[in-house]
Structure 1
């Protein structure tokens, strides 16, 4: 009988050690490895003999994963709950490999935890695929928020950004400024130079506005047609007016020919500027209507100029 059990044990050991999964066993009371498969050396480079205590396992977990994984595994094991944990494990060469530990809790006759047995799996390829998928999803999301012609934010992105920054401005009592730009006589530009040249002009103006006036967590987007909106969180009325004036000057410096313009021989734009420190009763739509009226006045007054709201802050602010 003893010989039979020895043979059977050897068969099981051979089966375990012939799989790619790495079997292991930990004595709970002693916090020591009773066994770990030789496959561990092929995966991480550490010899079987180097896996003596639970601390050896802990020390080889990536520092960013260590506390989360160790606390989770201890809590689940103490509760007698089988569990799984994903983490990065240190190789003997200093690199990291993604591991999934599948753990089964073994209890003694009194119901207390006797040992832990489980398997380590190399999930590095799966993690790389997941990370690539997340990267692609991020790229797709970015594309869905970008204007296909000019490369700046599209209207969908602008609306989402405006809503979020309006909420922040209301909560933190900070000013929110908008600069609305419209290329002067753009229909005439298209008629004179052709739509392909018009598309190239839109791209050039978008790039100029973006580099000239948009900083940090601010946003420039295509509001519609030849209109561009700058959203400037935390910027006061003076700062917003300065940005719009800078854009006007940079566009003049660009000296883009416009032979069909009723304003000048080069491309120009009109700008509306509005700032609000939100208070009770204020809403975002009113701010948008204000900046639109300012742009309209700039157009009425001869174009190629900046018109700012005369009341940057509400009377109750």
Structure 2
């Protein structure tokens, strides 16, 4: 939002002691608005004027605003350095500008302020004074923060599997490419696990799709207990398949984690009467670890791990097939 200053409305600030009905009208109008007019003498850095509305907004009396130090000291510490430096540099350059910051109230709270500043120059070109308005933009900032939070949440949902709460395939593909390139640059190992719930079609046929959904949610919840580091990714890969991406995890650690994963799934003890592996739900896991060479492609890495998963299923299911690729 750009807020321009009408020079006519600030004539009474430019000419101290000026009288006249027009200036009186302008002053009355300005002091009856919610915007707070002010003037600072550039040479002394003192307030020549600030509107009485300042007390209603911040609680500080009109006569307590003496110098720019009063302005700066009543600013949130996190905003102060940037805002003061910005305003000083713009003013010295003779550039009109705006600044948003949190102003301290006398009660110890903070109000979001937008300062709109007009730089007045002498005929010589030197800065004479600064005049402007303070606007209370607290509600606007609150709305902006709520909108930003909503956008972040929507973005998160776009990368989340709606049923299980695990990352979705879109997120997995994106992170896989990034981590693969990162491993190539750093020379650190990257591990990928592909997990397939054994005989899941038969499970759905016997117990129904609602029970099938419950099973997927339970498995995802168990898997998320494994991938808890910041860069780990636990994703629903498709249907009854899950994928776990583990940066900086070597082959030995990967194999141990895959076995733990298999045991956690069987440990859920979800009944599966038509499985030929056990009386409860189990999973087959392919796990591969790689330090990508300059010529290796991410796609071939996934295909190699998929072959390991196929081997685990072919060799009797409910087992781990692993390799350092």
TM-score between both structures, scaled by the size of structure 2: 0.92
2: distance between equivalents of 1:59 and 1:299?
Answer: 69
SS of the aligned residue for 2:267 comes to helix
The corresponding residue for 2:222 is 208
2: distance between equivalents of 1:4 and 1:214?
Answer: 70
Are 2:118 and 1:104 equivalent residues in the alignment? yes
| Post-superposition offset of 1:6 | 4.2
Are 2:191 and 1:177 equivalent residues in the alignment? yes
CA-atom RMSD in angstroms: 1.5
2: distance between equivalents of 1:63 and 1:192?
Answer: 63
The runs of 4+ residues in structure 1 deviating greater than 3 Å are 6-9, 212-216
What are the ranges of 5 or more consecutive residues in structure 2 without an aligned counterpart? 1-16
The corresponding residue for 2:202 is 188
Are 2:47 and 1:45 equivalent residues in the alignment? no
Are 2:143 and 1:143 equivalent residues in the alignment? no
1:12-59 per-residue CA deviation (whole Å, 9 max, x = no partner) reads 221110010000000001011000001111111111111100111111
Contact map agreement 1:178 1:231 (CA 8 A) in 2: yes
Contact map agreement 2:37 2:133 (CA 8 A) in 1: yes
Contact map agreement 1:212 1:250 (CA 8 A) in 2: no
Counterpart selection for 1:85 from 96, 99, 113: 99
Q: Report the number of matched residues.
A: 309
2: distance between equivalents of 1:52 and 1:278?
Answer: 65
Are 2:224 and 1:218 equivalent residues in the alignment? no
SS of the aligned residue for 2:225 comes to helix
| Post-superposition offset of 1:212 | 3.7
Q: Which moved more, 1:212-221 or 1:51-60?
A: 212-221
TM-score between both structures, scaled by the size of structure 1: 0.94
Contact map agreement 1:255 1:266 (CA 8 A) in 2: yes
1: distance between equivalents of 2:95 and 2:42?
Answer: 14
| Post-superposition offset of 1:4 | 9.4
2: distance between equivalents of 1:256 and 1:8?
Answer: 84
| Post-superposition offset of 1:173 | 2.1
1: distance between equivalents of 2:289 and 2:64?
Answer: 66
